[in-house]
Amino acid sequence: MTKSIGILTAGGDSPGLNAAIRAIGKSAIRQHGWNVIGFKDGFRGLMQNRIIRLDSDMLSGILTKGGTILGTGRDKPHKMDVGGSVMDMTDVMVENAAHHELDALVCLGGGGTHKNAYRLANKGLPIVTVPKTIDNDLYGTDGSLGFDTALGIATEAVDRLHSTAHSHHRIIVVEIMGHNAGWLTLGAGLGGGADVILIPEVPYSIGTISNAIALRKSGGSTFSIVAVAEGAISQRLASVVQEIEERGGPRDEVKAALTERRSTVEIARQLEDRTGLEARVTILGHVQRGGAPSPADRILATKLGVAATAAIADGEMGVMVASDGEGTKRVPLSEVAGKKHLVPQDHPWLETARALGVCLGD
Amino acid sequence: MTKSIGILTAGGDSPGLNAAIRAIGKSAIRQHGWNVIGFKDGFRGLMQNRIIRLDSDMLSGILTKGGTILGTGRDKPHKMDVGGSVMDMTDVMVENAAHHELDALVCLGGGGTHKNAYRLANKGLPIVTVPKTIDNDLYGTDGSLGFDTALGIATEAVDRLHSTAHSHHRIIVVEIMGHNAGWLTLGAGLGGGADVILIPEVPYSIGTISNAIALRKSGGSTFSIVAVAEGAISQRLASVVQEIEERGGPRDEVKAALTERRSTVEIARQLEDRTGLEARVTILGHVQRGGAPSPADRILATKLGVAATAAIADGEMGVMVASDGEGTKRVPLSEVAGKKHLVPQDHPWLETARALGVCLGD
Amino acid sequence: MTKSIGILTAGGDSPGLNAAIRAIGKSAIRQHGWNVIGFKDGFRGLMQNRIIRLDSDMLSGILTKGGTILGTGRDKPHKMDVGGSVMDMTDVMVENAAHHELDALVCLGGGGTHKNAYRLANKGLPIVTVPKTIDNDLYGTDGSLGFDTALGIATEAVDRLHSTAHSHHRIIVVEIMGHNAGWLTLGAGLGGGADVILIPEVPYSIGTISNAIALRKSGGSTFSIVAVAEGAISQRLASVVQEIEERGGPRDEVKAALTERRSTVEIARQLEDRTGLEARVTILGHVQRGGAPSPADRILATKLGVAATAAIADGEMGVMVASDGEGTKRVPLSEVAGKKHLVPQDHPWLETARALGVCLGD
Amino acid sequence: MTKSIGILTAGGDSPGLNAAIRAIGKSAIRQHGWNVIGFKDGFRGLMQNRIIRLDSDMLSGILTKGGTILGTGRDKPHKMDVGGSVMDMTDVMVENAAHHELDALVCLGGGGTHKNAYRLANKGLPIVTVPKTIDNDLYGTDGSLGFDTALGIATEAVDRLHSTAHSHHRIIVVEIMGHNAGWLTLGAGLGGGADVILIPEVPYSIGTISNAIALRKSGGSTFSIVAVAEGAISQRLASVVQEIEERGGPRDEVKAALTERRSTVEIARQLEDRTGLEARVTILGHVQRGGAPSPADRILATKLGVAATAAIADGEMGVMVASDGEGTKRVPLSEVAGKKHLVPQDHPWLETARALGVCLGD
């Protein structure tokens, strides 16, 4: 009997989603002869049965396209907003997948999506996931769709700021995405030659930073590029958070504490005050999520897409198809859900930055 | 006798400055056999006699380089900060140029630089200027160094935002440079397909914008890209400013009024409130000033650089070498200094935007 | 009564065609309320009545897309290959346009298309054309769709070759498109800093080129970038062609003579022999025709597309909507058809190249 | 006592060399306090004692620069061309390094360089190498400087060709570098969505390719992109070579046989003949070696550069510092020299291509 599979994309969008959809769809159709449908707007489309048929025509010409042709959303299956009230719709989703006689559902997403997929898998939905996040914070895979592309965009921005900072004798502070992980900022800072790199994993002291800039100034370098992760955190605030976590305080208390996090604009202002140099701010924002995926992301997406249908063909469900060097591997969702891959304190990139004399704020 | 010329770059930096320095230097050396020196950091270097000799080696490999190898600064010759006090140093500068036996000084800069150059020219300094500004607001030339490059960067950002906005059903507000001129925002908005374009020359009403977005939403388009010039101004504030100007109020009063200008972040927040859609903000900042000049800017820089030495060879001083279609022309500084080239209400780009149904906020 | 208009794209494809189709379609629908159809694959689609309806959905998301969603072709209406025999199908095309009750047909194309359009206009078809060619050789307009984008691609290639030539002490010869016009090669050579630029309008002598390279070598520069237009021609061959043309020889004789044109590979080999340096060849080919249009091309396409519907609304037919500085103008097809815009011997770009010491081979 | 180290770059140039030189130099100076010199033009500079002092100033601003500030060359230490005769100069090189009291020499290069470095190491020169090749064919490392950048350039070219092929109904054949390894072509073909991918490791039959194109044509796809590695080889020729190798024929006989390899232009012509579609050729050539390194290559270069000085600090010589996932490792030169890393027949990229229905010519 001909198999049928469904695809959905959830969470923030990342370059490479369409390349993965294409690879899943093309290998399903050409290699395996299956039917393929897509659900619109993430788990909401699965709940509402909003589908589009993914045939060869639909899959053509999307390899290089940014965004996702399926749309995406941040809904959680067990806490859906339905007409204003919050409801657990996991059973409805399992039922809908059965209604379409799906042999498998491929979910492309990041940390949240993997938690949601695991929940649905536990309800019996045959699920395979594909890792996707520009934050690179997924556990169990050595690459996620979108990170290489976002890294390219952020690095190019740091490059551009270099030439203008150099001409002008000033501090330029650039805010880079990544949630609570520093990968994107550390990579773009290292690749773009930033003088200061602030990431959530290494809490900073404003004094350390302004001293480093002052030292550069006294050495004749009157400009500095400061790459700040959106999740960067001061040492003081980090110790507050740590204290809450150590005494087992609720997650909401941590969140409340984090609202005191300095904005990038504030960091810039404080550095102006302390160094006497003018500071300017760039906030890249969603520019980092858009546009054509990089070649590396397209190859990754294609490799993982084909690996997803291979897992389905083998009947291996409840797994994430992960990148493993040049190849792929299958990692049980139970091992992935809820875990985070943050920058370890002894990571080679961190050590490389320190060896070059980059200020990490600590 | 061998001629000597000097070069300085002043004001904000723009891609293409080095390409112009190279063309001035190479044509001076190869075609005319002159000596060439550069003054560091704009007019300050001229005041302080900080020079570098520009020989063939120094001029090699800089065609594609962003920034300016000479450095730049925002000093005004007649209001220099010298050890804390503000002094008129124009005579010192004229003397320094004479000291180096300069037959001409080429100043590359924007609106402010042209005012400063005109002042020095009136003191007898033989000056030729080259127009440079990413804002495109210089009078008397159909192109200025850096505009095409900045347009490319801003347009690419709008492109990227498109794919991510599309996937997510939201408003994305992107702030684009340009001071009080709307060229960069209008160009990037038109070229990038923005749905709303707000420029200083067309004061906006938040109601008009949110209506346009609501109309798009009701038509099925749940995302909108709003391109906002850093100088964009509401209709209310525009009328306050106009009232001041009509009664001949001082420029400081206008400036004071303009401090009430809405920030891009505020515009985003108000659109969220009125449309019920999430909004996200991108502030490109100095990214727009950096990096390699576009081919068009390099050709422009090279053409104008050669035209500058041609003017000097002809003994025609006190002029700006301007772009005039594929060729160049010489415009007296008296006609340029203090004038601004803003977007006229009937400009073809504006009419084109209206014909496509773009909301201009009015 | 609601107007209907048709659109077709003919000749080689150029970046910006889709941006123009979008602007024609959107302004026709939103501003004027017309119906819009597209003919597939150029004049062949008009002959065969192969149409697609261009509604708002079809026009969405194509602004940045390379190629043409309508397809294109090199057919000539008066010499169509129909089932193996060559036939004049102009009347059939006029009839088909009438059958669709078209008030106007917009043809986007280059030199050949303008001749074809003029023929159809003379048969009574209400036609407006939009200039498009990466060769920039259209008469009557100061810009054509695709030139700025192709210039960017070719210049970037010259940039890349620079760094590798520099490391290796060798000659790199890069072939650039442009048919019999030198605009693209001259622009990319000037913008990319090529050491030798060979264009059809300035016939070359191999001896002059190898001397220039030898001179660079003796001055310590052991690398040279040679930008060669695909239509570049030696002085000897140019005089043969001139002799034929002066005695009124047939065009076929010129073509026969031109088959002796040196290929880029041969030029490279001869330079190797004469200079003792290794030479390498790059042939960019159709890479120059593909990909997303540059911002300048998108603005041009959008401006011209809106100008085309404005001309139709005004009932002004038989015209090309041309770029005229920042605005547009309407030029009668009778003035455009059959004319070429080549690089004049005294063009500012040529003079700029000479002033910088670039070898033009003459 | 202060250590001194030398750096040289040899073989073909690759983007990322300067980024690595910067990282080696900066970590040597800032972290270890060593002196750093560079030898010009590869091993020739070592033989001739042509050095430049690499201080902080020299190392500034080169992170994003293509090529190599040291120059490179293809000389072999044991077979140097000295005044016309071929001489073994290894002892001279060892002596020169001793003369400069070098504690270590860092050689950046590809396959040939690793053989040469191993020879010098065996003569007692303390050597550490950094892997660099756009061909990705080095054994013992999971990444080499330049590959990611070249992959980006080649993929972008395939992207561009896509849009133009689509508009025109034709075959476009693009030749991609890689010597006898298929990595670059396979990666760019996969990432760019080529329809046919020909690599040296999978010998092709013209019949298989033309059948695949004909099948596409009959399915309505009248265009095809054929990505051809410069080392692609027909099945017939591959069996000739295999026969020579099996009977232990000399390497020169293999080389002689390989001169019959079809050029890309011939492949295009044969496909035209067999399919009746027009074909066009693009030869990217050295464009693939030039320009700014990609962010991934810059991070790799920086990581490896710091790893090289770390190995020297540990006194571990005669090793290549290799990329190993996110970290690095040290591989003895004895394990690397003379080995090649070709595409295995069961490589995930090959299997991915087959799963998508890409024709590999076999």
- Could you read off the pLDDT of C246-260 as tens digits, one per residue? 999 998 999 999 998
Calpha distance C232→C218 (Å, rounded) = 27
Calpha distance D289→D300 (Å, rounded) = 17
Residues A241 and A278 in one domain: yes
Residues B164 and B204 in one domain: yes
Q: Does B205 fall in a domain?
A: yes
> Among partner residues C67, C157, C286, which is closest to D287 by beta-carbon distance?
C157
In this prediction, residue A166 carries a pLDDT of 74
Contact by Cβ (8 Å): D190, D311 = no
Q: What is the CATH number of the domain that holds D276?
A: 3.40.50.460
Contact A157 B287 (CB under 8 A): yes
Contact by Cβ (8 Å): B182, B342 = yes
Query: What residue type is assigned to position B23 of the chain?
Result: A
The number of folded domains in chain B is 2
Residues C123 and C57 in one domain: yes
In this prediction, residue A169 carries a pLDDT of 77
Q: Does C361 fall in a domain?
A: no
CB atoms within 10 A of CB C109: 30
In this prediction, residue D220 carries a pLDDT of 85
Q: Does D249 fall in a domain?
A: yes
Residue ranges of chain B with per-residue pLDDT less than 70: none
Catalytic residue among B103, B135, B137, B297: B135
Q: Is D224 on the interface with A (CB under 8 A)?
A: no
- Interhelix angle for B90-99 vs B111-122, to 10°? 70
- The per-residue pLDDT for range D183-201, each reduced to its tens digit, is 999 999 999 999 999 999 9
Contact by Cβ (8 Å): A225, A192 = yes
Identify all chain B residues contacting A71, using CB atoms and an 8 Å cutoff. 167-169
Q: Domain range for residue D266?
A: 150-290
Contact A290 B68 (CB under 8 A): no
Give Cα A287 to chain centroid, integer Å.
14
Residues B276 and B173 in one domain: yes
Q: What residues have CB less than 8 Å from A3, skipping those under 6 apart?
A: A28, A32, A34, A35, A103, A104, A312
Residue ranges of chain D with per-residue pLDDT less than 70: none
Contact D356 A30 (CB under 8 A): yes
Confidence of residue C50 (pLDDT cuts 50, 70, 90): very high
Calpha distance B107→B89 (Å, rounded) = 17
In this prediction, residue D230 carries a pLDDT of 96
Q: Does C85 fall in a domain?
A: yes
For chain A, what is the mean pLDDT?
A: 95
For residue A236, the surrounding DSSP H or E stretch is helix A235-246
If you average pLDDT over residues A51-78, what whole number do you get? 94
Residues B21 and B122 in one domain: yes
Q: Is B326 on the interface with C (CB under 8 A)?
A: yes
Confidence of residue C87 (pLDDT cuts 50, 70, 90): very high
Residues D84 and D201 in one domain: no
Q: Is A165 on the interface with B (CB under 8 A)?
A: yes
Q: Which of the listed residues C230, C255, C289 is the one where a domain comes to its end?
A: C289
In this prediction, residue A163 carries a pLDDT of 80
Q: What residues have CB less than 8 Å from D335, skipping those under 6 apart?
A: D139, D140
Calpha distance C70→D283 (Å, rounded) = 28
In this prediction, residue A138 carries a pLDDT of 97
Q: Does B215 fall in a domain?
A: yes
Calpha distance D284→C154 (Å, rounded) = 12
In this prediction, residue D38 carries a pLDDT of 98
**How is D272-306 classified by DSSP, letter by letter?**
HHHH---EEEEE-GGGGG-SPPPHHHHHHHHHHHH
Identify all chain B residues contacting C298, using CB atoms and an 8 Å cutoff. 155, 190-192
Q: Is D290 on the interface with C (CB under 8 A)?
A: yes
In this prediction, residue C290 carries a pLDDT of 86
Calpha distance B90→A92 (Å, rounded) = 79
> Among partner residues A71, A161, A290, which is closest to B160 by beta-carbon distance?
A290
In this prediction, residue D221 carries a pLDDT of 85
Catalytic residue among D75, D135, D137, D195: D135
Calpha distance D337→D78 (Å, rounded) = 15
Calpha distance D201→D192 (Å, rounded) = 20
Q: Does D353 fall in a domain?
A: no
Residues B155 and B250 in one domain: yes
Calpha distance D223→D229 (Å, rounded) = 20
Is A340 strand, coil or helix? strand
Calpha distance A170→A152 (Å, rounded) = 24
In this prediction, residue A129 carries a pLDDT of 98
Point out the residues of C that are catalytic. Answer: 135
Residues D91 and D178 in one domain: no
Calpha distance C176→C199 (Å, rounded) = 10
- Tell me, letter by letter, the H, E, C secondary structure of B264-288: HHHHHHHHHHHHCCCEEEEECHHHH
Using the CB atoms, write b or e for B110-120: b if 16+ within 10 Å. Answer: bbbbbbbbbbb
Residues D138 and D99 in one domain: yes
Q: Is B13 on the interface with A (CB under 8 A)?
A: yes
- The per-residue pLDDT for range D80-128, each reduced to its tens digit, is 999 899 999 999 999 999 999 999 999 999 999 999 999 999 999 999 9
In this prediction, residue C166 carries a pLDDT of 74
Question: Is the pLDDT score of C162 beyond 90?
Answer: no
Counting one residue from C and one from D, how many pairs have CB atoms under 8 Å apart? 123
Residues C280 and C160 in one domain: yes
Q: Does C355 fall in a domain?
A: no
CB atoms within 10 A of CB D46: 29
Contact by Cβ (8 Å): A118, A333 = yes
Query: What residue type is assigned to position D317 of the chain?
Result: M
Q: Is B135 a catalytic residue?
A: yes
Q: Is C345 on the interface with D (CB under 8 A)?
A: no
If you average pLDDT over residues C108-132, what whole number do you get? 97
**How is C16-51 classified by DSSP, letter by letter?**
THHHHHHHHHHIIIIII--EEEEETTTHHHHHHT-E
Q: What is the CATH number of the domain that holds A61?
A: 3.40.50.450
Q: Is C24 on the interface with B (CB under 8 A)?
A: no
Residues C124 and C164 in one domain: no
Residue B12: closest C-alpha in chain A: A168
Pick among A32, A163, A164, A190 to test the D interface (most D CBs inside 10 A): A190
If you average pLDDT over residues A288-300, what whole number do you get? 94
Alpha-carbon distance A296 to nearest alpha carbon in chain D (angstroms): 7
Burial environment of residue C304 by CB neighbours within 10 A (0 to 12, 13 to 18, 19 or more): buried
Q: Is A192 on the interface with D (CB under 8 A)?
A: yes
Pick among C225, C299, C326, C330 to test the B interface (most B CBs inside 10 A): C299
Question: Is the pLDDT score of C167 beyond 80?
Answer: no
- The per-residue pLDDT for range A153-191, each reduced to its tens digit, is 999 999 999 887 777 778 999 999 999 999 999 999 999
* Residue count of chain B: 362
Would the ipTM clear 0.85, i.e. be above it? yes
Residues D167 and D275 in one domain: yes
Strand order of the β-sheet with A224-229 is A196-198, A224-229, A171-176, A279-283, B279-283, B171-176, B224-229, B196-198
In this prediction, residue A158 carries a pLDDT of 95
